[in-house]
Amino acid sequence: MAARLKIPGGIVAELAAEFAGTMILILFGVGVVAQVAGAGIGDHDSIAWAWGLGVVLGVYVAGRVSGAHLNPAVTVALAVFKGFSWRKVLPYTLAQTLGAFVAALLVRWNYTEVLHAADPGLTIKTQGVFSTLPGNGTLPVGEWGAFRDQIIGTAILLFLILAVTDALGTPPQANMAPFIIGLIVVGIGMAWGTNAGYAINPARDFGPRLASFLTGYGGAWRDQTGYLYFWIPIVAPVIGGVLGAGLYQGLVGRFLPGLGAPEPGRLPEQETRENVEARNG
């Protein structure tokens, strides 16, 4: 069995890394939406790519210390299927949400003039800068459609994250896993962004939603129909993450040879199958 990494600072260091990594993710993700919605600079593709790059950079920031979950749906799925400690799930979730909240406040502050010029009443017109809406606030998608969409999108995310980070399979070499995970998010944004804005991350949605509410968006908790929508991007991604991780384990993971693996929730060490087999005798 591979030795577990000893992280200086323990849980405090891990939570600081989750906070920092999620903050980086949201600075790029919410920032690009503010630029597109507020100033008309960029389009859907620039949004998808900036979110993906935010994931890449956030994972590089936090990966060595905490595993860079950056998403409560990832944390819960790893606890259910990969042995990640349940006692860390709530602290990780709070750190991720706080990082998203702080980043959204910075975006809100920096883009104050642009947002007020584009939407003086701070209405649903620019609420989508910070949090997601069914049909992105304009298309004929109801709450059930958004709920379904978030389950599917997050299931895809977790299925592929487990595939990319499973040391027993064929993980990317040369520290490329963060880049590949970022491409996964770009792909989901380009293919699954219509029905609910591909939150696929409770912290990504709730933290910025709270920040927008506290800075003038009085309707932040509701969708365009007045429905109390905020719970859907929290609950549905957790369900979808567990389903996606379970599907990976059932369809692929359980058939892989049982070799030494790193601590659950951490990025895999870059070593070949032959090296592991030689070490394990």
* Total length of the chain: 281
Position 3 pLDDT exceeds 50: no
User: What 3-state DSSP class applies to 228?
Assistant: strand
Q: Where are the domains of the chain?
A: 11-254
The residue type at 207:
G
Output the six-digit token pair for 114: 């642009």
What does the pLDDT look like over 91-150, one tens digit per residue?
A: 999 999 999 999 999 999 999 999 999 999 999 999 999 999 999 999 999 999 999 999
- Evaluate if residue 259 carries a pLDDT over 70: no
- Residues 34-43: tens digit of each pLDDT: 999 999 999 9
Reported pTM: 0.88
Greatest alpha-carbon pair distance for the chain in Å reads 68
- As to burial, measured by CB atoms within 10 angstroms (0-12 exposed, 13-18 middle, 19+ buried), residue 256 is middle
For the chain, the average pLDDT equals: 91
Do the Cβ atoms of 134 and 145 come closer than 8 Å?
A: yes
Residue 261 pLDDT grade (very low, low, confident, very high; cuts 50, 70, 90): low
Angle at 159 between CA 156 and CA 163, to 5 degrees: 135
- Is 278's pLDDT higher than 60? no
Task: With a cut of 80, say whether residue 63 has pLDDT above it.
Answer: yes
Tokens encoding 32: 């690009």
Q: Residue 279 pLDDT more than 50?
A: no
Q: Which amino acid is at 173?
A: Q
Q: How confident is the model at residue 273 (pLDDT cuts 50, 70, 90)?
A: very low
* Range from 69-78, 229-238, 252-261 carrying the lowest mean pLDDT: 252-261
Q: Which of 212, 208, 230, 44 has its CA nearest to residue 133?
A: 230
End-to-end CA distance of the chain: 11
Helix, strand, coil content of the chain in percent (nearest 5): 65, 0, 35
Distance, in Å, from the CA atom of 150 to the CA atom of 202, rounded to the nearest integer, reads 10
Are the C-beta atoms of 208 and 101 separated by less than 8 Å? yes
Backbone angles phi, psi at 84, to 5 degrees: -65, 140
Q: Which of 220, 40, 22, 238 is CA-nearest to residue 130?
A: 220
Superfamily of domain 11-254: Glycerol uptake facilitator protein. (1.20.1080.10)
Average pLDDT estimate for 18-22: 98
